[in-house]
Amino acid sequence: MARRIPWLGKLPGDFTIRRPGFTLYAPLATSLLVSLLLSLLLGWLRK
């Protein structure tokens, strides 16, 4: 899915920490945005 939406995972607030032999990717802003969109969609569908 990320390949279809170019900005997904590249928002301000998505962190990547690279160290020798270690990479940590924390998509905080993307997770919050997806959660908000799903909550709105599900809330709308329940009505």
Q: Above 90 in pLDDT, residue 20? A: yes
For residues 6 and 3, which has the higher predicted lDDT (pLDDT)? 6
State the average pLDDT over residues 14-19: 91
Q: What is the domain partition of the chain in residue ranges?
A: 14-46
Question: Exposed (0-12), middle (13-18) or buried (19+): which is 44, by Cβ within 10 Å?
Answer: exposed
pLDDT at 3: 63
**Alpha-carbon distances, residue 38 vs 5, 16, 21, 27, 43 (angstroms):** 16, 24, 35, 16, 8
